[in-house]
Amino acid sequence: MTHAYLQIQGIEKTFKRGSHEAIVLKDIDLTVDKGEYVSIIGHSGCGKSTLLNIVAGLIDATTGGVILENREVNEPGPDRAVVFQNHSLLPWLTVYDNVSLAVNKVFAGVKSRAERHDWTLHNLDLVQMTHAKDKRPGEISGGMKQRVGIARALAMEPKVLLLDEPFGALDALTRAHLQDSVMAIHQKLGNTVMMITHDVDEAVLLSDRIVMMTNGPAARIGEILDVPLARPRNRLELAGNQAYLKCRQRVLEFLYERHRFVEAA
C-alpha cells in the first residue's frame, strides 16, 4: 500500500448557495492500486458521483486532494478518462469520429496519422463496435452508445478509467453483456478502474474492492470490502459461489440495514 497508484486524501466537498452551505462529502480517504478495479456504491444522492467528478477534475474539492502516480491532479485530463452515465457522445459525429476525436487530440504528435487511425479501429474492435463505425450515435442502441463511450475512454490510454454508472441506463440483458465485455477488457489490459454503481451484483461481480458510502449529507466511506474471487469470473459459476454470496450479503446488509436510504422529509 505504500506505492498506491491513485490516492484520494482527505477530500471534503461543500456546496454553497448563498448563505446556505451543504456538506456533501467528508473525510474521504482512499487508495487504489495499479490494475485494481474499485467500485463505489451507495444510495443515490450520497455524493458518489461528486467524488468521481473530483477525481476526474471536473469538480474542485473544497479541501483535500487527489494524487495520481505521485502527482497532484486538479484539472481534467485524458489520463483520467471518464465514461459518462449518458454516454455523452457527440451526436453530429460518427462512431469512428467520436473515438478519433479523442485519439487525434491525445496522440497528436506522438502517433502518425495511420497509427492513430489503426488505434481508433483497434479500440472500436475492443468493444465490438467496428461494424457500426460509420453510424451516428442516433442510429445505434443505448448499449452500443455506451460501448463507444468506453472505446473513446480506453483510446485515451488513461492511467485510471472512471466509470460513472456506465450501465445504469441500460436494460438488464444489455447490462450483463456489457459487464462481461468490461470484465474481459479489464482482464486483457489491466486498467485501473474506479466505477460508480448502485447495483450490488454489478459491484461484486466486477470489483476487487467495494467502497461503501454512508448516506449524505456529509457522506463518508462506511466500509471497504475485499472481494476475494479469482479472475476470470463467470457470472453463472459465481451464482452459487459461497464467497460471492457472502460479499453480496455484506454489501446488502450495509446498504439496507445499517445505512438505509432515508427519504428526505
Partner 1 sequence: MNMPVLKTEPSVKAAMPGADVLRITPAKPNLVHSRLLPALRDAAAAVLPPLVMIILLLTVWQILCSKPGATLPSPTKIWSEAYDLIVDPFFVAGPQDIGLGWRVLVSLQRVAVGYGFAAVIGIMLGTIIGQSVWAMRGLDPIFQVLRTISPLAWLPISLAAFRDSQPSAIFVIFITSVWPIIINTAVGIRNIPQDYRNVARVLRLNPLEFFWKIMIPSAAPYIFTGLRIGIGLSWLAIVAAEMLTGGVGIGFFIWDAWNSSRLSDIVVALAYIGIVGFILDRIVAVIATIVTRGTAAN
Task: Please pick, from the candidates 82, 150, 203, 255, the single residue that binds partner 1 as defined by CB under 8 A.
Answer: 82
Interface with partner 1, residue 168, by CB under 8 A: no
Interface with partner 1, residue 140, by CB under 8 A: no
Beta-carbon contacts of 198 under 8 Å, excluding residues fewer than 6 positions away, are 41, 42, 43, 44, 165, 168
* 153 or 247: CB nearest partner 1: 153
How many Cβ atoms are within 10 Å of 111's Cβ, its own excluded?
A: 15
Dihedral angle sign, alpha carbons of residues 53, 58, 62, 63: positive
Cα(130)–Cα(116) distance, rounded to whole angstroms? 15
Task: Please pick, from the candidates 58, 121, 176, 229, the single residue that binds partner 1 as defined by CB under 8 A.
Answer: 58
Task: Please pick, from the candidates 47, 137, 143, 216, the single residue that binds partner 1 as defined by CB under 8 A.
Answer: 137
Interface with partner 1, residue 116, by CB under 8 A: no
Q: What angle do CA 163, 166, 171 make, to 5 degrees?
A: 165
Interface with partner 1, residue 105, by CB under 8 A: yes
Interface with partner 1, residue 256, by CB under 8 A: no
Q: What angle do CA 96, 98, 103 make, to 5 degrees?
A: 85
Q: Smallest distance from the beta carbon of 27 to partner 1, in angstroms?
A: 26
**Grid coordinates standing for 170?**
441500460
Interface with partner 1, residue 80, by CB under 8 A: yes
With cell 487527489, the residue in question is: 66
What three-state secondary structure class fits 137? helix
Interface with partner 1, residue 238, by CB under 8 A: no
**Grid coordinates standing for 213?**
458510502
Interface with partner 1, residue 131, by CB under 8 A: no
Pairing of strands 80-83, 160-164: parallel
Q: Smallest distance from the beta carbon of 104 to partner 1, in angstroms?
A: 10
Interface with partner 1, residue 138, by CB under 8 A: yes
* Number of residues forming the site for partner 1 (CB under 8 A): 26
Interface with partner 1, residue 86, by CB under 8 A: yes
Task: Please pick, from the candidates 122, 136, 220, 246, the single residue that binds partner 1 as defined by CB under 8 A.
Answer: 136
Q: Smallest distance from the beta carbon of 100 to partner 1, in angstroms?
A: 11
Q: Identify residue 23 by its one-letter amino acid code.
A: I
Task: Please pick, from the candidates 8, 46, 54, 56, the single residue that binds partner 1 as defined by CB under 8 A.
Answer: 56
Interface with partner 1, residue 142, by CB under 8 A: no
Pairing of strands 6-17, 20-32: antiparallel
Task: Please pick, from the candidates 22, 90, 184, 224, the single residue that binds partner 1 as defined by CB under 8 A.
Answer: 90
How many Cβ atoms are within 10 Å of 125's Cβ, its own excluded?
A: 13
In degrees to the nearest 10, what's the CA dihedral of 162, 234, 146, 77? Answer: 20
* 184 or 245: CB nearest partner 1: 184
Residues that bind partner 1 (CB under 8 A): 56-58, 75-78, 80-82, 84, 86, 88, 90-93, 101-102, 105-106, 136-139, 156
